Chain A
């Protein structure tokens, strides 16, 4: 009974995706799309909860849906692997997914792509649950590509908007780089272990000390795939642009779930990573570097969603640091808490956007507290959690990661990890500052705002086939005031806010137990950890203090004395310019990678046109030339044909007679 239910987890949303697709076809059905999508995700969540007990007690470990690929040595089944880590991820994906879908039902109301949007979300949940449940790497890769596809479709949701289309392409192409490396990693695993099923591979990897060159290479290949999907240096550039998608998509895919797939994959394949002595330190270094790098960029951005995008990149960096210092519990715990507060932050940002008709520029809004008190409070909770304010969710998980890093550094006399821990603390300060800069700017201070150009949920948008945003603004006659959003949208936010406040305190031990009981449990830490120093309490105090300092600084510069902030920015105008332009990384990539590739493409195109097409054209010209040479024989004169026939017959007769 339970295995049958368990099979349904990905397939309910898949069915919903198909049904929503049908709803796209016929207008009267469209308003049902949201209900179908929400029902399927809630169904998947309920099933996840129902089976969790059986999974934790190891009654349910493996479910085979059908045979997929059987070709000589390669046996790949469409089968699901259940362990506590899976359950945790399922809770995050389906739980947050359901809340975001409910919010989106209100947020997207009246949009002409309503059903298409929910078809995309359902398909995403199918792909993501498949990724999480995959029993083998090929199926995991299927889910991996599936979420990438849905991400592409939903970033490019406003397909008539050139920036959205460009962002969708960018996300897809940058992900290709990582995915190529990931798939090479899978090939290497197959050549090394002769199977792609996760359990046997990890079984073989665990405890073995290998000198096989492939064991040293595989983790780096998988790692690059994770960096692409989870937006880490050097492949993070797609995530800020991905904010062109609708806000619920940003919240669900580009903050809470899909981008954490990389962290999940490394946690899942941890024994493989432990085989190579350089793999996990590399993960930790890249994660920390990304965390600091993205946090500094976030300081000087003005687009609310982009600030949150950079903060997502930064927080993902923390998760990689956690996994990299073998604190998979910390990494996955941060993944868990981050899903709550970052989804909350994105959705409240969506509410602000909704209220201000698409306005996202931080400089064009101020003092909205009176206009939208509930959103203000909810975002405050999210900001506290992101900043790591004591006792909120982010505080506990971030603290766990930093503690693990510093303890590892001190106990193993590894300066590297100590430095990483300290950098993590500095990043925490920046995080608190930029988070509250945003909150103070939006909600406190004098009430001033400038409405944006687009009206979400406007009915006239749903009728027009190709209405320009500008036109809507002109046609729109009634004065649009910032207003609080309805409870269909605020309801899920309250749940998320409760999670953002309490998930750290309540779920810590549970996450610890779940992760430790799964393949993500590192093998080598226990002995050292028990003998070394314990910094837990100390780090807790320091990081709590840091968060408060960051918040107070933000309050001074961005609430009480905004002139001081402007003066400060004036003084360091150069640095501000570099940060506002995101370290010119996009420009650098464009110059170093995109343009040369474009030139190469041009060269190849010309070569194709001249050499290959020329050859083909020549071959095609030969029969034509032949035809042209004898074409004059067809004169169109009846007598001519008659003469030809007579002479021809005569010649043939003559030949026959002479020959005989």
Chain B
């Protein structure tokens, strides 16, 4: 199998890709303070999950995972519109995109 790289693509490679995407997204989410970047990072985490779902779909030779992917993408699109709208509103209130500006829930 080392001589045929493309044919040697296995489930684990896809899962690894998905996991890497997810973790990058999460690290971004946890480390950045810009609301838009944070939001993009969540999108990236979504994509990680989506890759995993598609891979499993192929692996099991059924459509369940892909169906789920379609739903996730649809909802992600809708949520993206909503979330960006919220970010705009939040920006208008504080004139900054820093997430630290919103800390009323501090105990």
Contacts and interface: CB of A to CB of B under 8 A. Distances in A.
Contacts of A162: none
B30 A636 contact: no
B19 to A, nearest CB: 12
Contacts of A638: 38, 99-100, 102
Contact of A635 (B38, B102, B106): B106
A639 B106 contact: no
Interface in A609-635: 631-635
B3 interface: no
B103 interface: yes
Contact of B107 (A635, A639, A646): A635
B26 A636 contact: no
A632 B105 CA distance: 11
B4 interface: no
A198 B80 CA distance: 88
B62 interface: no
A638 B104 CA distance: 11
B38 A633 contact: no
A659 to B, nearest CB: 22
A637 B30 contact: no
Chain A, interface size category, equals 10 to 19
B99 A636 contact: no
A658 interface: no
B29 interface: yes
A593 interface: no
B31 interface: yes
A634 B107 contact: yes
A537 interface: no
Nearest to A633: B107
Contacts of A637: 99-100, 103, 106
A476 B59 CA distance: 107
A643 B27 CA distance: 9
A271 B104 CA distance: 82
A37 B102 CA distance: 71
Interface of A is mostly: helix
Contacts of A635: 103, 106-107
Contact of A639 (B30, B104, B105): B30
Nearest to A637: B103
A277 interface: no
A650 to B, nearest CB: 10
Given A631-B107, A633-B107, A634-B106, A639 B99 contact: yes
A636 B29 contact: no
A470 interface: no
A642 interface: yes
A176 to B, nearest CB: 54
B99 A634 contact: no
A636 B31 contact: no
Contacts of B103: 635-637
Contacts of B33: 639
Contacts of B106: 634-637
A80 to B, nearest CB: 71
Contacts of A646: 26, 30
Interface string B81-107: 000000000000000000110111111
A633 B106 CA distance: 8
A632 B31 CA distance: 21
Contacts of A636: 102-107
Contacts of B107: 631-636
Most buried by A among B38, B104, B105, B107: B107
Nearest to B103: A636
Given A634-B106, A634-B107, A639 B31 contact: yes
Contact of B105 (A634, A642, A643): A634
Contacts of B104: 636
Contacts of A639: 29-31, 33, 99
Contacts of B105: 634, 636
A632 B106 CA distance: 8
A635 B31 CA distance: 16
Interface string B59-84: 00000000000000000000000000
Contacts of A634: 105-107
Contacts of A631: 107
Interface string A561-573: 0000000000000
Given A631-B107, A633-B107, A635-B107, A643 B30 contact: yes
A642 B100 contact: no
Interface in A493-546: none
A572 B81 CA distance: 105
Contacts of B100: 637-638
A642 B45 CA distance: 13
A648 to B, nearest CB: 13
Contacts of B99: 637-639
B15 to A, nearest CB: 15
A632 B104 CA distance: 13
A636 B98 CA distance: 13
Interface string A466-481: 0000000000000000
A657 to B, nearest CB: 15
Nearest to A638: B99
A637 B99 CA distance: 8
Interface string B1-45: 000000000000000000000000010011101000010000000
B53 to A, nearest CB: 17
A300 B104 CA distance: 78
B87 to A, nearest CB: 12
Contacts of A633: 107
Nearest to B45: A646
A637 B103 CA distance: 6
A13 to B, nearest CB: 66
A184 to B, nearest CB: 60
A642 B107 CA distance: 16
A637 B105 CA distance: 8
Given A631-B107, A634-B105, A637-B103, 17 more contacts: A634-B106, A634-B107, A635-B103, A635-B106, A635-B107, A636-B102, A636-B104, A636-B107, A637-B99, A638-B38, A638-B102, A639-B30, A639-B33, A639-B99, A642-B26, A642-B29, A646-B26
**For the complex of A and B, 10 pairs with smallest distance between CB atoms:** A636-B106, A634-B107, A636-B103, A631-B107, A638-B99, A636-B105, A639-B30, A643-B30, A642-B29, A642-B30
Interface of B: 26, 29-31, 33, 38, 99-100, 102-107
20 contacts: A631-B107, A633-B107, A634-B106, A635-B106, A635-B107, A636-B102, A636-B104, A636-B105, A636-B106, A636-B107, A637-B100, A637-B103, A637-B106, A638-B38, A638-B100, A638-B102, A639-B33, A639-B99, A642-B26, A646-B26
Interface of A: 631-639, 642-643, 646
